Amino acid sequence: MPHAASELLHRLDELHLRFQLHFVDHVRLTRDLRQLDALIADAQAIAAQAAMEAPEQLGDDWPRLALALARRLELYTEARGAIAQAHAVAGLRDREASLLTGRGRLVLHRYVRHFAGQTRRTRDPGRLKEMIDDLLVLWKQLEPLAKRLQVPSVAEEVSAVGQFIGFFLSERDELQAAWRAGSREEQAAGLAEVLANLEADWQALVLGVPRHLRRLALLDRLIGTLDSALGTLMALRHANMADSHEKRVQRAAELLVHWQDERAVTAGLQARAPAPMAELHALGHALYLNWRQQIAGDKAKRDRAWLATHCDRLEELERILTERTVGLPDAYLLWLRDILVAVERSFDSVVAAQEARLHPEGDA
């Protein structure tokens, strides 16, 4: 393939990736027409350059490139019309409410990753409480908007946020009861998994991030769950318990002291010098590029645990930037949320591919 054709096809592929990330399978009401207009203009610029160089520079690749350009421009133009139509029948309240319920869907995916299909006694009640608090904050913002919505589907999305608050509250009660259900050995085994998950989160989401870029509420949540787990482990002490139980108690106690010390150091540093927005943005771009490098190849062979942790890393950054935002989110935060949605979808597709390989259609 001539160099000119290869370069133009690469630019076209990168442009199409932008389209897929920010417009495919998103709620049309939440999409920015100006962003799509800029994308269409970029595609037209590629088409104009290809027309100037064909056929001398592009040779036999010109027909294929021309066809791809025509199809992509048609797709982008059709998408613009559909988005413009969605905007035309909605009000500003509908758009704002739809953006907020989009954040609610991020919370629901967190539940899918960390709670759905898992044994309750092995789960972190602190994480679930944090999710409930997130939805309650969203509900406080949604309530005044809900009274004057024009689009029925948006009203349904708003109502769903309230329903999930009720579901999570019920699930929290079940989870707390599960920690103290069963024999001593069963409770201890569940708490052992809780501790292992807490250590993994601390390693990936705390130690894996510079101190000034951490979210203090995350450290508080991990420390709080560890403290609760340690208290329950100590209450389970009994002469008949295995020696490994006492070692687990000692390990949890040591971690608690270490984590509390690390939290104090982190808080002191952040009080003196809050993280610059430029560094937070750079972290988001680095996470995005890392994900793109990891998703090539057979979905069934990808590391779903890595993808789940990557979702958590991006989510931590999204939460920090959301807390710093006053009013409607800026372009970078909207971009980051779209990236988080894309990573979550890749996680879902990997899980589906791996489940399909484990349980092929037609298995008895």
- DSSP letters of 268-287? HHHHHSPPPHHHHHHHHHHH
User: Would 293 be classed as within a structural domain?
Assistant: yes
User: Would 234 be classed as within a structural domain?
Assistant: no
Domain range holding 20?
Answer: 3-88
Q: What is the mean pLDDT of residues 91-114?
A: 94
Where a domain ends, among 70, 88, 106? 88
pLDDT score, position 49: 85
pLDDT in tens, 55-88: 666 566 777 778 888 999 999 999 999 999 999 9
User: Would 49 be classed as within a structural domain?
Assistant: yes
User: Would 146 be classed as within a structural domain?
Assistant: no
Instruction: Report the 10 Å Cβ neighbour count for 214.
Output: 23
Q: What is the mean pLDDT of residues 200-218?
A: 96
Q: What is the mean pLDDT of residues 162-184?
A: 94
Where a domain ends, among 48, 63, 88? 88
* Average pLDDT for the chain: 91
Cα separation, 358 vs 353, in Å, equals 9
- Residue 24 scores a pLDDT above 70: yes
User: Would 33 be classed as within a structural domain?
Assistant: yes
Nearest to 205 by CA among 151, 124, 143: 124
Where a domain ends, among 37, 67, 88? 88
User: Would 314 be classed as within a structural domain?
Assistant: yes
User: Would 237 be classed as within a structural domain?
Assistant: no
- Residue 309 scores a pLDDT above 70: yes
| pTM for the full predicted model | 0.90
**In this structure, which amino acid lies at residue 121?**
R
User: Would 131 be classed as within a structural domain?
Assistant: no
Structurally, the chain folds into a number of domains equal to 2
Three-class SS string for 210-234? Answer: CHHHCCHHHHHHHHHHHHHHHHHHH
Of 124-128, 292-296, 309-313, 320-324, the range with the lowest mean pLDDT is 292-296
